[in-house]
Chain A
Amino acid sequence: MANEHFHAVVTPDRYFPHRYAGAAEDFNPLHIDAEAAASVGLPGNILHGLSTLGLAARLCLEQVGGDPRALARISVQFRGVGVPEEEIEFSGTVAVSAGATSVHFTASQGDRTVLRDGVAELRDDATAADPPR
């Protein structure tokens, strides 16, 4: 088994939460309305946790060539709140063994953790995801 370091940085722009809201049809005001977010004590509108997970899933897939069939499983704990216009740093390790690759990762903005205990399990034979029918 070989371990490699996993590291990537994504900076969601000011309107990333609004575009994600539209794409995912999740219009919770906390993500798109700074006043609504402020009314419950947040610094401003916050990222959808699932959008941060979506970015993590893409970055993990890119470790093995990007084929969406490669992702067998992904799990994560959401911690803290992610905000737009601030770097999200994804880091962890990539473990390669016979037949499978797994990525263990966290995501943070500055000293705030936003994703914890992230695990992605990737299939080496991506086409195995599509069983014969």
Chain B
Amino acid sequence: MSTEPDCRVGLEVAPWSYQVGREKIREFARVLGHREAWYYDREAARAAGFRDVVAPPLFAVVYGRWMEPLIMEPALGVDYRRMLHGAQEFSFGAPVCSGDVVTTTARLDGVSTKKDLTFFELSSVSLVQSEAGTALASEGRWTMIVRGGRE
């Protein structure tokens, strides 16, 4: 495993915002097989203490745009066609509901190589803005593996 410093470490891209919509939540919840009414019905969600239909936790992938803005940043030099997802971690704070806006910042925390694989460690922080104010929605750590060695 190479430990030499990589000038790309610390790279950030402009934060991006995601407007959370009811139908997108429903679509995402349906695909993953969530059955609870609070993902689909506004009144059921409100009865459970949510502002509006609530997103399943892994909706973090949707508002985080699976880190595409950072992965596709030319300065990162990732060949998307040779990329695999190595590992994923999410920590969750406040729930995200329809009508909220989620703003995500992303950063390259580390690059390492092992044989012909390059490991990119990315991190994300997503803040949710709603009528209730601003709160931390989730933090993500994404490990992407590119086959074929260093660019």
Contacts and interface: CB of A to CB of B under 8 A. Distances in A.
Interface in B22-40: 24, 27-28, 30-36, 38
A78 B27 contact: no
Nearest to A59: B33
Contact of A73 (B27, B34, B61, B92): B92
Interface residues of A, number: 37
B94 interface: yes
Interface in A102-133: 127, 129-131, 133
Nearest to B36: A66
Q: For chain B, what secondary structure do more than half of its interface residues adopt (helix, strand, loop), or is it mixed?
A: mixed
Interface string B73-103: 0000000110011111111111100000000
Contacts of A68: 38, 54-57, 95
Contact of B88 (A23, A28, A67, A78): A78
Nearest to A19: B31
Contact of A76 (B35, B80, B88, B133): B88
Contacts of A66: 34-36
**Interface residues of B toward A: which range?**
35 or more
Given A16-B31, A57-B57, A68-B56, A50 B88 contact: yes
Contacts of A22: 27
Interface string A50-88: 110111011001000011110111111110000000000
Nearest to A10: B33
Contacts of B135: 130-131, 133
B87 A78 contact: yes
B56 A54 contact: yes
A50 B66 contact: yes
Contacts of A55: 32-33
A25 interface: yes
Contacts of B55: 68
Given A23-B28, A71-B92, 12 more contacts: A23-B62, A24-B61, A26-B66, A40-B81, A50-B61, A67-B48, A72-B91, A72-B92, A73-B89, A76-B87, A76-B89, A129-B93
Interface of A: 10, 16, 19-20, 22-26, 28, 40, 49-51, 53-55, 57-58, 61, 66-69, 71-78, 127, 129-131, 133
Interface of B: 24, 27-28, 30-36, 38, 48-49, 54-58, 61-62, 65-66, 80-81, 84-95, 132-133, 135, 141
Q: Which 4 A-B pairs have the closest CB atoms?
A: A75-B89, A54-B58, A133-B133, A49-B85
